[in-house]
Chains A and B, each alone.
Chain A
Amino acid sequence: MAKIVLKGNGAVALAIKMARVDVVAAYPITPSTFIPEKISEYVANGEMDAEFIPVESEHSAMSACIGASAAGLRAATATSSQGLELMHEMLFIASGMRLPIVMGVANRALSAPINIWCDHQDTISARDTGWIQFYAENNQEAFDLMLIAFRVAEDERVLLPAMVGLDAFILTHTFEPVDVPEQREVDDFLPPYRPKHAYLDPERPITQGSFVYPEYYMEFKYGQWIAMESARDVIDEVFADFASRFGRKYEKVSTFMCDDAEIVLITMGSLSGTVRHVVRELRNEGIKVGVAKITVFRPFPHKEIIRAVKNAKVVGVLEKNVSFGFGGAVYGEVLATVHGEGLDTKVLDFIVGLGGRDVRVEDVKEVVKICSDALQGKAVDKINWINVDKEAVKNA
């Protein structure tokens, strides 16, 4: 094991190399461009025995990954924002064909207006595509979760594609020390991919991607449902195995000071560190607040969310996405989970950090203030936009 200083993008590229991916097809987009650059460099120098396809669009990137994965090889790509949207159609097809492609996604805002900075609207909008979704808090997590994603995706009980989100610039372009295992250790953790269901071999001809009539379509979809449900246990198994090999323990939802918390804040991605910092401070002031960080968003960790919030009176969801006409997507899912369990916990939504707007300590404190008001029975809004100039919008 060696400590290497890596950008988030470098961590993703290195994980793809160390996972011995056979085919990488990718298209540049800010801020994930460095990933295909680095991989093409690995391949050009003979450091990585793979085919790199410099495709002419993200749609073709995913299509070529589908071709390579249908041929029975390990395939991966990376993209961001508009690129993920352009391949959106193919995301459904990758999961519907049960091809365990792995993708790193630099989480970036969507146009319009065009903006290259961080939020989660891109991957959240891919929520229903049938991909497993992981979100990294730092570069170590980005590296580890990429390796974990391959193991989970390729498990015969799962066979679904997986994406790992890392925050644009905050992680993609920031250098951090990353513990990188030996190649031999990665090989032991991630054995070669030998699919029994998807291959293109003239000795054993099969048809993949056929036309399916109503009498079979729902069974295909139910198969995907079962696979995603199975992924719950598989993810736990793989997290445990990863921890035993590399000493880093992952959880679908990791909690911080939640046990006695009256207020639990829910986060995803790099924001979590700031929120934990504020929680530590507020604890000193006697405010009983905790943090639950979602690392796995699909399959949605119902059980783990309940475990995290069961003693809380108020749950505040901080999220970098919005579904216009409803609220944040994470809020909707947490709300359904909590109330579906019969808890009368108040759930509030806080839209933060869209398009790279900094989420500052005072913003998190404002969130806690609103949650505290709710705790004291004061009337508060369910959906709250934080650090936004509302007057400017009214006057526009």
Chain B
Amino acid sequence: MPENFEELELFAPGHRGCAGCGASQIVRWILKIAGPNTICVSATGCLEVFSTPYPETAWRVPWVHAAFENAAAVASGVEAAMKKMGKDVNIIAFAGDGGTFDIGFQALSGMVERGHNVLFVNYDNEAYMNTGIQRCSSTPYGAWTTTSPPGKLTIGKEQRKKPIAAIIAAHGAPYVATATIAFLEDLKRKVKKALSIKGPKFLHILQPCTTGWRFDPSLTVTISKLAVETGVFVLWEVEDGDFDNKFRITYKPKKRKPVIEYLKLQGRFRHIINKPEIIEAIQREVDEKCAKYGF
């Protein structure tokens, strides 16, 4: 971690991110920890669009973007190039949930299996936000999106969220962790740890989206925090995919809050707030998951 990290700003202000968007904060903090000896790769998505409106750029480190589904493959090529040149550089790929869970999944799986020395960061806002809020395999059960609309026959998204971090860990990746910007010290520690390990690393960072989740831009951190305090999003890390011996919950809420406190702040769940059987189903699932994690 650079000594001057407090004042070091490698992701410049003045970009075109929405007020209340956590993606820019995720990048800002990760680059503070990584320092200038870093190359970034982005998937197509909000981050790429709002940070690189030609001829401007918010990136003060080398940055490359090619397409939506291939940040991991482009990063693989960049890493191979650095290896060929004998350069020791942090290589960090950023992708949204579409570029990680769905269209980018194959390239990511390939990159991890081949063992490229890359930190892949997924900022997960639980839908295709750049195209205007369409459902993704990251979208949680019950959520409204423009392609999982609640109707006479449906409640919103009917399927559960794909457990992406566990899936990547199951590849045997040396380091996989979950994080949010509400727990900044936890995030900073995980970035530092990830960058100290050789091989493919994966960070799954929950990124509440003010426009897609329908909440006031002042609530990004509050909602991030509630996701963790309710147990909806669990902060953990695992090494080598070894869930038996090298798995750790990095934050346990003292007393878990009911999920309704998290759901009720978000317009995307408005249609289920008054449907106790759905809220109970979500609560039950969170309870079962947390019981497995021991809290």
Interface positions of A (Cβ within 8 A of B): 22-23, 25, 49-51, 53-57, 59-60, 63-73, 75, 89-90, 93, 97, 199-202, 204-213, 216
Contact = CB atoms under 8 A, between A and B. Distances in A.
A89 B57 CA distance: 24
B89 A60 contact: no
Contacts, number: 153
Top 5 A-B residue pairs of the complex, sorted by shortest distance between their CB atoms? A67-B77, A56-B110, A64-B77, A63-B73, A71-B81
B141 interface: no
A73 B110 contact: no
A57 B110 contact: yes
A200 B84 contact: no
B225 interface: no
Given A23-B80, A55-B114, A211-B53, 6 more contacts: A55-B73, A63-B70, A64-B76, A66-B74, A66-B77, A210-B52
Contacts of B77: 23, 25, 53, 63-71, 75
B81 A72 contact: yes
Given A53-B114, A56-B107, A60-B70, A202 B54 contact: no
A213 B48 CA distance: 13
Nearest to A66: B66
Contact of B38 (A73, A202, A213): A202
B67 A51 contact: no
Contact of B36 (A53, A69, A202, A216): A202
Contacts of A63: 66-67, 70, 73-74, 76-77, 107
B106 interface: yes
B59 A67 contact: no
Residue of A55, A67, A207, A210 with most partner-chain B CB within 10 A: A67
Interface of B: 36-39, 41, 48-49, 52-55, 57, 59-67, 69-70, 72-85, 89, 106-107, 109-110, 113-114
A200 B76 contact: no
A85 to B, nearest CB: 15
15 contacts: A25-B73, A50-B84, A51-B84, A53-B77, A56-B110, A63-B70, A67-B81, A70-B64, A70-B66, A71-B39, A201-B62, A205-B59, A205-B60, A205-B61, A208-B62
Contact of A60 (B41, B62, B73, B81): B73
A21 B77 CA distance: 13
Given A97-B66, A206-B62, A53 B57 contact: no
Contacts of B49: 211
Contacts of B113: 56
Contacts of A213: 53-54
B66 A90 contact: yes
A60 B80 contact: no
A67 B89 CA distance: 15
B271 to A, nearest CB: 34
